[in-house]
Chains A and B, each alone.
Chain A
Amino acid sequence: MSIWIDENSKILIQGITGNQGTFHGTRMIDYDTDVVGGVTPGKGGQTLNFSGKEISVYDSMQEAIQKTNANVSVIYVPARFASAAIIEAANAFQANGGGLVVCITEGIPILDMVNAVANVEKCPDVRLIGPNCPGIITPREKGGCKVGIMPGFIHAKGRIGIVSKSGTLTYEAVAQTMSVGEGQSTCVGIGGDPINGTGFIDCLRAFENDSQTEAVVLIGEIGGSAEEEAAEWASKNMSKPIVGFVAGSTAPPGKRMGHAGAIISGGKGTAEEKFAAFERAGIHVARDPSEIGNVLVKALEEAGLR
């Protein structure tokens, strides 16, 4: 197993005719992801060719889901249209048996996300991942299901679940697991925006319930209190070992560090507080991301898993 996506997932690409949709859509197919169609309003009826595979374009998510039986959508549309795309996808999946919406887009206005998340919450059979995230990937023996912009080739099938707020730092965590001979069950990038869909706790719960996952690597960053809440939850609910890292120990207060949510405000949301919460919760802490691999080995050994 894995969490939320696997080789049976059927994926639609929202914004498929744009540069991002075309570029990443091709790479998703190259990784053996089952892309079954795309949506760009006003461009329905076209057929695109990505790496030799014919992909139909539809005008709406409702039509696309009914024609393709898709259960996953990935959004590459520009920021100003992205929240409408999220809401359209959520409503269409809810009306057709449920699904997963993964929003890659960066720079969505925060009030648009407040609205979009509230709409998604009205759809109990729909999960939103992102926005401003690399997406989600479940590697198989060869290729796998890649819903996002991460480089597929750095991954391999295995037993480590990875969840992270960051993009490239997630790849770093993947590389760290590989460096100690461990592959991944599923890697989820939840994104670096202050308002997002799926959070750390959702991912931890899913990994705890997933038979393939035996340990989790959790990568946080400064800002907000999601890491502290995840640690608190994990201490009560997780039986599987967790390795944690938090980026931004050296970030000055009051300054936004790239991600919209990565800011220490009013002295809250520091890396130190988050590391301390990890330690209180029994999470194995890596202070240096290059140590994630070694800390993971120790955690696995301690749990009798290696």
Chain B
Amino acid sequence: MNIHEYQAKAIFNDSGVKVVKGLHCTNLNEALQAYDELESTIVAVKSQIHAGGRGKGVLYDPNTNEKIMEGGVKIAFSREEVRKYASSIIGNKLVTKQTGEEGKIVNNLYIESGCEISHEYYLALLIDRDTKSVLIMGSTEGGVDIEEVAEKNPEAIHKIWADPLEGLKNEEVIRFSESLGLTGESKDEMVEMVNSLYSMFLDKDCSMIEINPLVKNSSGEIIALDGKVSFDDSAEFRHPWRDELRDLSEEEEVEIRADKYGLSYVKLDGNIGCLVNGAGLAMASMDVIKLYGSEPANFLDIGGGATSESITAAFEIILEDENVEGILVNIFGGIIQCDMVAKSVIKASKEIGLDVPLVVRFSGTNHVEGKNILNNSDLNVFTADTLAEGAEKIVSLTRGAQ
């Protein structure tokens, strides 16, 4: 789960991580009020969407696609400029290199007091799969794409790892701050910030915290000028407060609905819908569809606890996608029994009025029974014994339809 910058900064503030004062707003009036309240001659007007690259993004009118303004983060030097920028941002579509062409409608703004920057840094905390611990990564080159820094100037990136049982060692954090070229009070502030962020990472069950840029201001203070925070969804049960931070408009509605049925669904751009048990097999099914010359319309794992109800929901979700010209069901029965899936497929097809070709491949638990149920039904369905056979069949059937 991702949250907005303004929400991340509220958590930073509560966790002892220094931020500059800012106010969240959802319309122009609030934005102007925020400007008055902040009493800062210079403010940043920042689009709030769950995607990076906002500063270099472009705003478009969502209806006409007419270009409105370049840059989703603006520095305003007057109340009038706040009015100009806020009205150009709110309700419009922001396209960044992370949003894709469709962009995101900006419903939230953050108005933040100005900050005199003497140096920009990069700081992130994330789970390192190799060392199986929390990695703290910093760079003297902030405000730019960290992947580019990693490629062109890897010596600018410094890393320390927290021992999972003993935590962060103070001398390592001090060395880390020094490696970023900090001295005196700035160094101490950085040490404090890293420690505070690490505590926050653990307390809130984060999966990533990224601050780009983290800045040293003109008086040497270390301040988080940006904030990107992701939470580990698996830990949601111990953080009921997260519900309030959730912005459903930032999530795919269909993926949320799928999740309610225990389905894991990701929409893709192809024409063959897939319904599979198991994440690995679901990916493999997509890959094989491509090998046989078509493109998958989705990733869909029905999970080990699938029922007739969830399989019907899965069919509905697949068929909502107008690009779908055929469906491949691929089940390797382990916990799931193929005969149950067969009955569910027949029921779902009738309820929904399935009107595209359907190929079903069964293997594993009760696959013979499942196949017999399908072949003896009046459903227009092709059965296959292997994944390759199933993929080849659905691709050729949809080709015929074109």
Residues of A in contact with B (beta carbons under 8 Å apart): 23, 79-80, 107-115, 117-119, 122, 134, 149-151, 154, 164-172, 175, 192, 194-195, 219, 221-222, 224-226, 245, 247-252, 254-262, 266-267, 271, 287-291
CB-CB under 8 A for A166 and B281, given A107-B234, A114-B132, A119-B165: yes
Q: Secondary structure of the A side of the interface?
A: loop
B284 interface residue, CB < 8 Å from A? yes
CB-CB under 8 A for A257 and B279, given A79-B234, A154-B364, A195-B132: yes
B334 interface residue, CB < 8 Å from A? yes
Residues from chain B with Cβ under 8 Å of A168 in the complex: 276-278, 280-281, 332, 334
Binary contact readout B219-249 vs A (1 if CB under 8 angstroms, 0 otherwise): 0000000000000101101100000000000
Q: How far is the CB of A150 from chain B (nearest CB, A)?
A: 6
Q: Give Cα distance in the complex from A32 to B303, angstroms.
A: 27
CB-CB under 8 A for A117 and B301, given A111-B202, A287-B291: no
Within 8 A of A (CB), among B243-286: 264, 266, 268, 276-284, 286
Contact B234 A169 (CB under 8 A): no
CB-CB under 8 A for A117 and B132, given A258-B264, A266-B147: yes
Among candidates B235, B276, B283, residue contacting A111 with C-beta atoms closer than 8 Å: B235
Contact B268 A195 (CB under 8 A): no
Q: How far is the CB of B223 from chain A (nearest CB, A)?
A: 26
Contact B133 A261 (CB under 8 A): no
Central interface residue in B165, B276, B281, by most chain A CB within 10 Å: B281
Q: Give Cα distance in the complex from A111 to B167, angstroms.
A: 12
Within 8 A of A (CB), among B22-72: none
CB-CB under 8 A for A80 and B237, given A257-B283, A290-B387: yes
Among candidates A149, A226, A257, residue contacting B334 with C-beta atoms closer than 8 Å: A149
Q: Secondary structure of the B side of the interface?
A: mixed
Can you report 14 A-B residue pairs in the complex whose CB atoms are below 8 A from each other? A110-B234, A111-B134, A111-B205, A114-B127, A164-B280, A172-B363, A175-B364, A192-B279, A195-B127, A250-B283, A252-B268, A259-B279, A288-B387, A289-B287
Among candidates B164, B279, B290, residue contacting A118 with C-beta atoms closer than 8 Å: B164
CB-CB under 8 A for A172 and B387, given A110-B232, A114-B164, A267-B147: yes
Q: How far is the CB of A122 from chain B (nearest CB, A)?
A: 8
Residues from chain B with Cβ under 8 Å of A288 in the complex: 287-288, 291, 387-388
Q: Give Cα distance in the complex from A222 to B281, angstroms.
A: 12
Residues from chain A with Cβ under 8 Å of B171 in the complex: none
Q: Give Cα distance in the complex from A283 to B266, angstroms.
A: 31
CB-CB under 8 A for A165 and B365, given A288-B291, A289-B387: no
Q: How far is the CB of A273 from chain B (nearest CB, A)?
A: 15
Q: Give Cα distance in the complex from A289 to B264, angstroms.
A: 21
Q: Give Cα distance in the complex from A256 to B130, angstroms.
A: 19
Contact B279 A258 (CB under 8 A): yes
> What is the chain B residue whose CB lies nearest that of A224?
B129
Residues from chain A with Cβ under 8 Å of B235 in the complex: 109-112
> What is the chain A residue whose CB lies nearest that of B268?
A252
Q: Give Cα distance in the complex from A290 to B389, angstroms.
A: 9
B335 interface residue, CB < 8 Å from A? yes
Q: How far is the CB of A181 from chain B (nearest CB, A)?
A: 16
> What is the chain B residue whose CB lies nearest that of A249?
B287
Q: How far is the CB of A123 from chain B (nearest CB, A)?
A: 13
**Smallest CB-CB A-B distances: 7 pairs:** A166-B280, A258-B279, A168-B278, A290-B388, A169-B280, A118-B164, A109-B235
B218 interface residue, CB < 8 Å from A? no
Contact A219 B280 (CB under 8 A): yes
